[in-house]
Structure 1
C-alpha cells in the first residue's frame, strides 16, 4: 500500500503520520493542498477521497485533507482524477472570487480542523480503505 495524505491540518497530521506518507505544511492554503494533490496525480497517484468532500465550501474553511493512492485502481479511468482535481481547483477559484477567506479566530479554526479530521476519520475507518 502506497497511500499519501496531503493536508494542512495539524490534527490529521498528528493522528495519521505513522500510517500514511504525509505531505503536510500548516501554512498551506486550501488551494495549496489541491495543487499538491494534483502534483501527485501527475505522478500516477489516484484520488481515494474527493477533493471537495464535505459540505464546507472552500471559501468557508482554511483546512483540507486529501488521500491518494499509488495502487492501481481497477475502475479508474485514465484522466478521471485529473479532471476531478482540475474541476475542484476551478470550484475553489469560483467560491473564493470576491469572497476571500475570513481571518477566522483560533476557536473557529480549531472547529474547522475538527470537521476536516472527522471527514478523514470516516474514510480511514472504512474497511474498503484498509484493504488497499
Structure 2
C-alpha cells in the first residue's frame, strides 16, 4: 500500500481511487479540507502536496485534494507554516455560489483530480 493518505472533498477522487488508495473524504468546503490537513500535520504527518497547487484560485473551486504521509513523526514547523498560511489565504476568498451547475462542478472536480494525479505520479515514482 502507498505511504500516503489523500484528504479530499472531491467525490470524483473517491470514485477513481477509492479502492486502490487510502482516502479520507469529507463533505466540507475548501477551507475546511485545509483544516483537516492541518489537524494531520499537528499530529506529525508530513505534507506531501501543496495546499494551494494549481492555477485555479480557492474562490473559483470548491474542491481540493491534498496528500499527507501515513507515517507520523515529529511536528515539522515548515509544514505548520505552510498550512496555516494556506488557510489564511483561502479565508480571503469565498466560493462563488453562482457556479452551481453540474457540468461546471464536474469540470472543477476533473481539474482537482488532474492535479492530484500529478502528485500521485511523483509520490509513486
Please give the TM-score of this superposition, normalised by the length of structure 1: 0.84
User: Which one of 103, 118, 121 corresponds to residue 122 of structure 1?
Assistant: 118
In structure 2, the residue matched to 1:11 is 12
In structure 2, the residue matched to 1:57 is 57
The CA RMSD measured in Å over matched residues stands at 2.1
**How far off is 1:103 after superposition?**
3.5
In structure 2, the residue matched to 1:86 is 84
Rounded to whole Å, the distance in 2 between the matches of 1:86 and 1:23 is 20
Q: Following superposition of structure 1 onto structure 2, how do residues 16-27 of structure 1 map, counting pairs within 5 Å?
A: 16-25=17-26, 27=27
Deviations 1:4-55 (A, max 9, x none): 1110101111222233321102x31001110100011011101110000001
In structure 1, the residue matched to 2:37 is 37
In structure 1, runs of 5+ residues without a counterpart are: none
Rounded to whole Å, the distance in 1 between the matches of 2:78 and 2:17 is 27
In structure 2, runs of 5+ residues without a counterpart are: none
Change beyond 3 A, Cα 1:72–1:40: closer
Please give the TM-score of this superposition, normalised by the length of structure 2: 0.88
**How far off is 1:72 after superposition?**
7.2
